[in-house]
Structure 1
Amino acid sequence: MSFPRDILLKFVPMLPEEVEARGWDGIDILVITGDAYVDHPTFGPSLIARVLLDAGYKVAICAQPDWKNPDSLKAFGRPRLGCAVASGNMDSMVKIYTAGRRLRREDRFSPNGELGRCPPHASVVYSQLARQAFPGITVILGGVEASLRRIAHYDYWQDKMRPSVLVDAKADLLCYGMGELTMLEIFGRLRDGKDLKNIRGTCRYLGGKESESFELGEDCRELPSFEEICSDKLAIMRETKIAESETNPWNAKRLVQRTRGRILLVEPPRPPLTQEQFDYFCELPFSNLPHFSYKEKIPAWEMIKESIPVVRGCPGGCAFCGLVSHQGRHLVSRSKESVLRSIKRLSQEKFFRGTISDIGGAAGNIYGHSPRDPEICKKCRRYSCLFPSFCKNYNAKEEPLMELLDSIMKLPKVRHCFINSGVRLDLALAQPRQTRKIIKDHVSGQVSVAPEHLDGRVLSLMRKGKAGEFEAFKEIFDEVNRRVGKRQFMVPYFISNFPGCTAENMEVVDKFLAKSNWSLQQVQDFIPLPMTMGAAMYCSEIAPDFSPIKVNKGLAERRQQRDVLKKTRGFSAKSGKSKFKEKSFGNKKR
């Protein structure tokens, strides 16, 4: 089947015909991803492919190749510079398996949600597939899975410790973080025939001789070795505390981890993008559509097709979340002008009906936040700007988001603009004018909030606000709805089986739900994501202060707390059918 030339030039090439239409005699870089190819800036591999294409490289995408057949990578011939490998927008194990270690019902990043298109431990599988297809090729790992598994970590689904994914994948380099500038530097060096040493935001697994001659300098901190992690259950807590203290790109040291007789060297993080850089990358000529070769729907794209990414990073540092390990703690927000340009472009799409489904990022109410004094921020070693209390240097400004929302609503084709990323309760209470504005004008009938728990001790272990915040927010929510005459709903998310949460702690949530007669739509059963404090607590059975905690591990043991959240209140009063859906906390759209 032949396609018009303008269609063939609209996407980063995924078919040989698209390469031919551009007049290329081959490609420089092959981007391999475990997701379907959606040409949108919220899809990490697509963003990296666009950035490299914009820099002048001849780039092609191989989306969800047959992971049992190396020939599935050969449609474009051998890449001149190398392969960039990612599992996709999520860790592949989270994407495929539930907290109960069962297969999920769908893979939202695949056509028609079909399971089986992305393999477990996709980063490892695709790296080895690339080496089989192109012997001697340079392989660069990246994406969420690489970020969360860049050092020795616990794999919940295998119930075992694993070394850095770089060790198992046998790739040449691992790029962690969002990676635009890092990937440009990596492939610039490969193009110029330079080595890949000392690149910020990367990990290298040193060879035998280099490991023997490596000297720990003052710019290094040594993590417990992989062998220690395997033999001493407390070692992963020590590792996590060190890793968390070295996440600030302005003062972080290199991390060294001895693994199987060699050294894993983790370079310091790369500083976040500037606003100008973030604007530029988000406004590259994305089609904002799934590749034209797909006939089926891509559920993940259906969720975000009318949304606009406006902020990157997360100041929260919650113990159960891997976002800070990937995006970093320091926020960068797009300029109002850039966001408006993206919305004007979105409004020209045939599917647009006047509603912006979401503007956000890690949370819906962090846009425009910044340090009062950037120099103080550069010296800080806190993992969270908000816990255990708000940093005095953190400026939770209300005006930028309020002004942005007002400007969006003045655009001619926009009738609604909603905040659906989820609202941080601690920030919502600190931003009363903004919070009331969101509830009054920018809620699509229901607002997502994540109290996660209601017991103060558990919330402290989660590094998630304080007891009473959910109830305080609910009072504001109800008051605004009464005043404006709207009937809107809150969708709260609670986590069961977080390390340290006992039956008595869970009873606090149970009593609240019973008193409120609340019907929960989803339950988040805790999953210990790699490189999170929650995972360290789960494995070591201690809190970060090294005090012992109760941890539920077996499925039968975990079922009790899940049942607290899903019992009778999880059934529809009208039909009697269960509304409960098993959902891990990691299964978010970003």
Structure 2
Amino acid sequence: MKTVPDIFSYRKYWARRFGTAPVLPMSREEMGALGWDSCDVIIVTGDAYVDHPSFGMALIGRLLEAQGFRVGIIAQPDWRSTEDFLKLGPPNLFFGITAGNMDSMVNRYTSDRRIRSDDAYTPGGEAGRRPDRAVIVYAQRVREACGDKPIIIGGIESSLRRIAHYDYWSDKVRRSILPDAKADLLVYGNAERALVEIAHRLARGTPVGEIRDVRGTAYMTSCIPDGWMVMDASTVDRPVRVETCTNPYHAAGVCDKTVSEKEGEAVAIHFSGLKKHVNRDRTVIRLPSYNQVARDKVRYAHASRIFHLETNPGNARALIQQHGRRFVWLNPPPVPLTTSELDRLHELPYTRRPHPAYGGARIPAWEMIRFSVNITRGCFGGCTFCSITEHEGRIIQSRSEDSIIREIEAIRDQVPGFTGHISDLGGPTANMYRLKCRSEAIESACRRLSCVFPDICGNLKTDHGPLISLYRRARRVRGVKKVLIASGVRYDLAIRSPEYVRELVTH
């Protein structure tokens, strides 16, 4: 895996002298009480501001605060004018824009495309407090209000729409969210590493247009930089005529057949082997263009498969996709956080409750997770219906047992209404804690789309011992009566540890 600096190793920005805010400000009055005349970073979000590590704006806001930056929050602004976007004044460095913890279209519409009657991320569960395609709308309003300030978009909505994609709501292929939002940068996946690097570069005076090499980012460009080798996607994976029903997870040999030109003839995507090149770090793969994938389902599937294949931070290459006269350039995925980084991130000074401005209003999403603890990130299941791999990656990032226990104690001591029940110790999958490849070298070179399908990889360590130890220690914490597991259990992994299954069903 690539060597990168620890996210907490950067020299702190001068504004650290203002200290830690009790809660990140949402108004000029709160800024004044902190002694601030301006914010360095302003985060615009479609969710209510809950100062809890399960909410993206709090996680990123507190992390940037730990770097010494003054961070303000504009939560659920009225998008019909620019007024709300100006209430904290312009930031010194950049606006960070996110739709929130959910894609705004999923948040507002059911699978039948009917408008939902409530919104779990809004005080009182009130629906209609964010626009459709919130990232695009917020970015447009910010550009109107503060046209010269850098705009960086991120979160699940931006992350999963970073290339041309099928949009269920309009039933068509839409182009990348980047040109529609007219943002300067897009950060995808778990963005802590990228945002810390970007913030410090901007603070040093680097123009946002010159920040082009940060992993986990995407941007628009009109040309390919010098020194890069462009590899066509067809050299990595080639569409051919259907001969047999193909397992999409199986790596077949090189096929010399070409795409059928007959209209309506079924075609499939076959893995054709990798072309070796002396410098993968300076190789960019050219995906089929937006126009091509919008009118050709085979090319869409082809682009999607390449997109999936280039998700391992150990061997992924940069991707480009033409949109009109310009290209969307995707740098390789971010390097996963280490255990110590993840521990410190989750132990920043969150209040673990909604911003006081909401009074006693009920925020359903917070009520659901306020007694739960996130212990992992990522999932190596590679399920075709799931987007976790494209967002969080397939490498499991686990917190230490000590850090998790400290968070349980913080819940016991700080969160109102705690009765002794921890509602979940989990993550994307309940039982992938500390599971990993037996070799970092093998993991870095691996091109499999799943570690468990069609069979569990022989290189995967499936020892559930650390998780069993965590469960038992959590139950012994003073004041804890019951520890529940609400995250989904991967049964093919669980049955490899009868002791884990007994622990789960007994307690």
TM bin (shorter chain):
0.7 to 0.9
Whether the 8 Å contact between 2:420 and 2:480 is mirrored in structure 1 is yes
Q: Report the counterpart of residue 276 of structure 1 in structure 2.
A: 340
Instruction: After TM superposition, give the deviation of residue 211 of structure 1 in Å.
Output: 5.3
Q: Kindly indicate whether residue 257 of structure 2 is the aligned counterpart of residue 193 of structure 1.
A: no
Q: Residues 386 and 254 (structure 1 numbering): CA distance in 2 closer, same or farther, change over 3 Å?
A: same
Distance across 2 between alignment mates of 1:135 and 1:202: 21
Whether the 8 Å contact between 1:398 and 1:431 is mirrored in structure 2 is yes
Q: Report the counterpart of residue 202 of structure 1 in structure 2.
A: 217
Distance across 2 between alignment mates of 1:56 and 1:215: 36
Q: Kindly indicate whether residue 459 of structure 2 is the aligned counterpart of residue 400 of structure 1.
A: no
Distance across 2 between alignment mates of 1:314 and 1:345: 27
Q: 1:140-159 to 2 correspondence within 5 Å?
A: 140-159=152-171
Distance across 1 between alignment mates of 2:475 and 2:294: 55
Distance across 2 between alignment mates of 1:388 and 1:96: 36
Whether the 8 Å contact between 2:26 and 2:88 is mirrored in structure 1 is no
Task: Give the counterpart letter for 2:189 in structure 1.
Answer: G
Distance across 2 between alignment mates of 1:135 and 1:45: 22
Whether the 8 Å contact between 1:211 and 1:262 is mirrored in structure 2 is no
- What RMSD, in angstroms, separates the aligned Cα atoms of the two structures? 1.4
Q: Report the counterpart of residue 317 of structure 2 in structure 1.
A: 253
Q: 1:468-483 to 2 correspondence within 5 Å?
A: none
Q: Kindly indicate whether residue 490 of structure 2 is the aligned counterpart of residue 421 of structure 1.
A: no
Task: Give the counterpart letter for 1:64 in structure 2.
Answer: Q
SS in structure 2 opposite 1:264?
strand
Q: Report the counterpart of residue 27 of structure 2 in structure 1.
A: 15
Task: Give the counterpart letter for 1:316 in structure 2.
Answer: G
SS in structure 2 opposite 1:234?
helix
Instruction: After TM superposition, give the deviation of residue 9 of structure 1 in Å.
Output: 3.8
Q: Kindly indicate whether residue 297 of structure 2 is the aligned counterpart of residue 233 of structure 1.
A: yes
Distance across 2 between alignment mates of 1:59 and 1:174: 19
Q: Which string of whole-angstrom CA distances, capped at 9 and with x for unpartnered residues, describes residues 56-78 of structure 1? A: 11110001000111110111111
Q: 2:403 aligns with which of 338, 346, 349?
A: 338
Q: 1:305-324 to 2 correspondence within 5 Å?
A: 305-324=370-389
Q: Kindly indicate whether residue 299 of structure 2 is the aligned counterpart of residue 299 of structure 1.
A: no
Instruction: After TM superposition, give the deviation of residue 105 of structure 1 in Å.
Output: 2.4
Q: Report the counterpart of residue 505 of structure 2 in structure 1.
A: 439
Q: 2:98 aligns with which of 63, 67, 86?
A: 86
Q: Report the counterpart of residue 419 of structure 2 in structure 1.
A: 353
SS in structure 2 opposite 1:278?
helix
Instruction: After TM superposition, give the deviation of residue 216 of structure 1 in Å.
Output: 3.8
TM-score scaled to structure 2, two decimals?
A: 0.83
Q: Which string of whole-angstrom CA distances, capped at 9 and with x for unpartnered residues, describes residues 509-546 of structure 1? A: xxxxxxxxxxxxxxxxxxxxxxxxxxxxxxxxxxxxxx
Instruction: After TM superposition, give the deviation of residue 214 of structure 1 in Å.
Output: 8.9
Whether the 8 Å contact between 1:315 and 1:331 is mirrored in structure 2 is yes
> Structure 1: 5+ residue runs without aligned partners?
1-7, 442-590
Distance across 2 between alignment mates of 1:297 and 1:16: 25
Instruction: After TM superposition, give the deviation of residue 36 of structure 1 in Å.
Output: 0.5
Q: Report the counterpart of residue 60 of structure 1 in structure 2.
A: 72
Q: Kindly indicate whether residue 48 of structure 2 is the aligned counterpart of residue 36 of structure 1.
A: yes
Whether the 8 Å contact between 1:50 and 1:284 is mirrored in structure 2 is yes
Q: 1:32-181 to 2 correspondence within 5 Å?
A: 32-181=44-193
Q: Which string of whole-angstrom CA distances, capped at 9 and with x for unpartnered residues, describes residues 527-581 of structure 1? A: xxxxxxxxxxxxxxxxxxxxxxxxxxxxxxxxxxxxxxxxxxxxxxxxxxxxxxx
Q: 1:377 aligns with which of 443, 455, 473?
A: 443
Instruction: After TM superposition, give the deviation of residue 245 of structure 1 in Å.
Output: 0.7
Task: Give the counterpart letter for 1:359 in structure 2.
Answer: L
Q: Kindly indicate whether residue 363 of structure 2 is the aligned counterpart of residue 265 of structure 1.
A: no
Distance across 2 between alignment mates of 1:244 and 1:20: 47
Distance across 2 between alignment mates of 1:164 and 1:53: 30
Instruction: After TM superposition, give the deviation of residue 173 of structure 1 in Å.
Output: 0.4
Instruction: After TM superposition, give the deviation of residue 202 of structure 1 in Å.
Output: 0.4
Whether the 8 Å contact between 1:203 and 1:267 is mirrored in structure 2 is yes
Whether the 8 Å contact between 1:28 and 1:79 is mirrored in structure 2 is yes
Distance across 2 between alignment mates of 1:246 and 1:213: 22
Instruction: After TM superposition, give the deviation of residue 365 of structure 1 in Å.
Output: 1.3
Instruction: After TM superposition, give the deviation of residue 145 of structure 1 in Å.
Output: 0.7
Q: Report the counterpart of residue 386 of structure 1 in structure 2.
A: 452
Distance across 2 between alignment mates of 1:356 and 1:371: 30
Instruction: After TM superposition, give the deviation of residue 215 of structure 1 in Å.
Output: 5.4
Distance across 1 between alignment mates of 2:43 and 2:293: 33
Distance across 1 between alignment mates of 2:458 and 2:226: 44
Whether the 8 Å contact between 1:247 and 1:269 is mirrored in structure 2 is yes
Instruction: After TM superposition, give the deviation of residue 368 of structure 1 in Å.
Output: 1.8
Q: Which string of whole-angstrom CA distances, capped at 9 and with x for unpartnered residues, describes residues 289-312 of structure 1? A: 011111311100000000011111
Whether the 8 Å contact between 2:101 and 2:155 is mirrored in structure 1 is yes
Whether the 8 Å contact between 1:9 and 1:18 is mirrored in structure 2 is no
Distance across 2 between alignment mates of 1:378 and 1:212: 26
TM-score scaled to structure 1, two decimals?
A: 0.72
Whether the 8 Å contact between 1:45 and 1:143 is mirrored in structure 2 is no
Task: Give the counterpart letter for 1:204 in structure 2.
Answer: Y
Instruction: After TM superposition, give the deviation of residue 17 of structure 1 in Å.
Output: 2.1
Q: 2:354 aligns with which of 290, 297, 300?
A: 290
Q: Which string of whole-angstrom CA distances, capped at 9 and with x for unpartnered residues, describes residues 461-503 of structure 1? A: xxxxxxxxxxxxxxxxxxxxxxxxxxxxxxxxxxxxxxxxxxx
Distance across 1 between alignment mates of 2:187 and 2:393: 14
Distance across 1 between alignment mates of 2:136 and 2:94: 16
- Percent of aligned pairs with the same residue? 43
Task: Give the counterpart letter for 1:329 in structure 2.
Answer: R
Q: Kindly indicate whether residue 394 of structure 2 is the aligned counterpart of residue 329 of structure 1.
A: yes
Distance across 2 between alignment mates of 1:310 and 1:155: 32
Instruction: After TM superposition, give the deviation of residue 212 of structure 1 in Å.
Output: 9.1
Instruction: After TM superposition, give the deviation of residue 82 of structure 1 in Å.
Output: 1.1
* Count of residue pairs the alignment pairs up: 432
Q: 1:423-572 to 2 correspondence within 5 Å?
A: 423-441=489-507
Distance across 1 between alignment mates of 2:24 and 2:122: 18
> Structure 2: 5+ residue runs without aligned partners?
1-19, 231-279
Runs of 4+ more than 3 Å apart: 210-218
Distance across 1 between alignment mates of 2:78 and 2:452: 44
Distance across 2 between alignment mates of 1:215 and 1:410: 56
Task: Give the counterpart letter for 2:294 in structure 1.
Answer: C
Task: Give the counterpart letter for 1:346 in structure 2.
Answer: I
Task: Give the counterpart letter for 2:405 in structure 1.
Answer: L
Task: Give the counterpart letter for 2:219 in structure 1.
Answer: R
Task: Give the counterpart letter for 1:50 in structure 2.
Answer: R
Distance across 2 between alignment mates of 1:141 and 1:13: 20
